Amino acid sequence: MKANNIITIVAIIALVIAVIFLSINKLPASDLEKETLSATGTSSIKTLPDQAKIYIGIETLSDNAEQSKEENNRITEQVSNEIYNINIPRSEVKTQNFNVYPDYEYYPKQKLKGFKTTNSLIITTTDFIKVGQIVDAAVKGGATRINNIQFELSEEKQAEVKKEALKKASEDAREKALSIAEGLNVKLGKLKSVSSQDYYYLPYRAFEGATLAAEDAQSEIAKTTIIPTELETTASVVVAFEIS
Query: Burial code of 67-105, b = ≥16 C-beta within 10 A, e = fewer?
Result: ebbebbeebbebbbebbeeeebeeebbeeeeeeeeeeee
Which residues have C-beta within 8 Å of that of residue 35, sequence separation ≥ 6?
242, 243
- Give the per-residue pLDDT at 229: 85
Q: What's 58-95 look like in SS3?
A: EEEEECCHHHHHHHHHHHHHHHHHHHHCCCCCHHHEEE
> 152 - beta bridge partners?
51
Q: Walk along the chain (244 residues) and give the pLDDT tens digit of each residue.
A: 455 555 555 555 655 454 454 454 544 545 446 789 999 999 999 999 999 999 999 999 999 999 999 999 999 999 999 999 999 999 999 999 999 999 999 888 899 999 999 999 999 999 998 998 999 999 999 999 988 899 999 999 999 999 999 999 999 999 999 999 999 999 999 999 999 877 888 898 877 764 445 555 555 555 444 567 899 999 999 999 999 8
- Give the per-residue pLDDT at 86: 95
SS3 201: strand
Check: CB of residue 141 under 8 Å from CB of residue 78: yes
- Give the per-residue pLDDT at 201: 87
Q: Does pTM surpass 0.95?
A: no
C-alpha span between 144 and 135 (Å, rounded): 11
Q: How many angstroms from the chain centroid is the CA of residue 22?
A: 54
- Give the per-residue pLDDT at 118: 96
- Give the per-residue pLDDT at 205: 86
Check: CB of residue 92 under 8 Å from CB of residue 84: no
- Give the per-residue pLDDT at 197: 74
- Give the per-residue pLDDT at 225: 47
